[in-house]
């Protein structure tokens, strides 16, 4: 069994990116828009701003109150679109229910759409055209490649159909000739799908949701889920109990999360390259 060490891989990638960033004539600028006070978002944002500082990127946080209007968010996005000091814009998810996040994503200028959630970015991904790729799916693919995990012809069970993870990851996997089953909250007999999969990718957000009985021997398990149990960060997978069942597995924390953050800066630099 091999641990897919996202912390180690992301550190290597960030070191390579820093060498490239240091050679630029001007500093890169990353704007993060945060609407509301979601606790998980606060943690993610702190990590992103910390990485900005380490890499020599100017990270700017624009924090709007929970009751901010959709027009206020859009006006801020459009202002940042026209700001030459800002090379990339992130609208932190989730946003309050009264704001249409898809509409807001599509107000971000394509050249600054670091998260790759706009219709243009997603459409290019589906069509196989060059585009920014959503950071979590891109980070997962980088991690699989780093450990030389072959996807060609493999059966993949993907438990998520969101815009942020499931849909872009589905397209990346089939692009690499995997056979992908996309499962979700309305899927019947989920364990039948997981037990037949060579690779199981779970982004559900329920602790210990994936048990040993749901995984076939020798499977690869990618845990994207994040939950807090008794103050401790845990994933979707019953980690300790599945270790002797799998060939590769990501830990939580230290697996997919660090890769997601690294991909933000890879995407940011791509717009300059």
- Options 113, 115, 198, 223, the catalytic residue: 115
Return the axis-axis angle of helices 119-127 and 166-175, rounded to nearest 10°: 20
Phi, psi of 220 (to 5 degrees): -100, 130
Helix residue ranges per DSSP H, the chain: 6-22, 39-55, 70-81, 101-105, 119-127, 135-146, 166-175, 190-195, 239-242, 256-270
The count of other CB atoms within 10 Å of the CB of residue 240 is 9
What angle separates helix 39-55 from helix 256-270, to the nearest 10 degrees? 50
DSSP 8-state symbol, 110: G
Dihedral, CA of residue 51, residue 227, residue 205 and residue 179, to nearest 10: 60
User: What tokens does 134 get?
Assistant: 């959503």
CA–CA separation, 236 and 144 (whole Å)? 19
The distance of Cα 191 from the centroid of its chain, to the nearest Å, equals 25
The β-bridge partners of 232 are: 229
Is 92 an annotated catalytic residue? Answer: yes
Task: Indicate the DSSP class of residue 186.
Answer: T
Question: 92, 167, 198, 238: which is the annotated catalytic residue?
Answer: 92
Q: How far apart are CA 199 and CA 216, in angstroms?
A: 9
Contact (Cβ atoms closer than 8 angstroms) between residue 240 and residue 208 = no
Query: Is 115 among the residues known to form the active site?
Result: yes
245 carries an active-site annotation:
no
Q: Which phi and psi angles does 123 have, rounded to 5°?
A: -65, -40
**Residue-wise burial string across 90-103, b where 16 or more C-beta atoms lie within 10 A, e elsewhere:** bbbbebbeebebee
Write out the catalytic residue numbers: 48, 92, 115
């Amino acid at each position: 069994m091999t641990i897919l060490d996202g912390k180690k891989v992301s550190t290597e990638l960030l070191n390579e990116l820093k060498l490239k960033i240091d050679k630029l004539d001007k500093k890169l600028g990353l704007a993060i828009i945060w609407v509301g006070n979601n606790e998980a978002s606060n943690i993610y944002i702190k990590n992103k701003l910390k990485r900005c500082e380490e890499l020599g990127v100017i990270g700017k946080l624009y924090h709007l109150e929970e009751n901010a209007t959709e027009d206020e968010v859009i006006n801020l996005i459009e202002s940042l679109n026209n700001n030459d000091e800002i090379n990339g814009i992130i609208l932190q998810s989730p946003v309050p229910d009264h704001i249409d996040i898809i509409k807001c994503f599509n107000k971000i200028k394509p050249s600054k759409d670091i998260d790759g959630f706009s219709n243009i970015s997603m459409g290019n991904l589906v069509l196989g055209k060059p585009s920014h790729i959503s950071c979590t799916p891109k980070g997962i693919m980088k991690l699989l490649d780093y450990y030389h995990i072959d996807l060609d012809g493999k059966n993949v069970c993907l438990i998520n159909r969101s815009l942020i993870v499931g849909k872009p990851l589905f397209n990346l996997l089939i692009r690499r000739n995997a056979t992908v089953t996309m499962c979700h909250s309305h899927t019947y007999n989920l364990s039948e799908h997981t037990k037949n999969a060579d690779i199981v990718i779970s982004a559900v957000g329920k602790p210990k949701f994936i048990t040993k009985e749901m995984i076939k021997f020798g499977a690869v398990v990618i845990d994207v889920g994040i939950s807090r149990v008794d103050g401790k960060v845990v994933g979707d997978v019953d980690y300790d109990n599945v270790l002797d069942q799998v060939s590769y597995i990501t830990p939580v924390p230290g697996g997919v999360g660090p890769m997601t953050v690294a991909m933000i800066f890879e995407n940011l630099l791509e717009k300059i390259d």
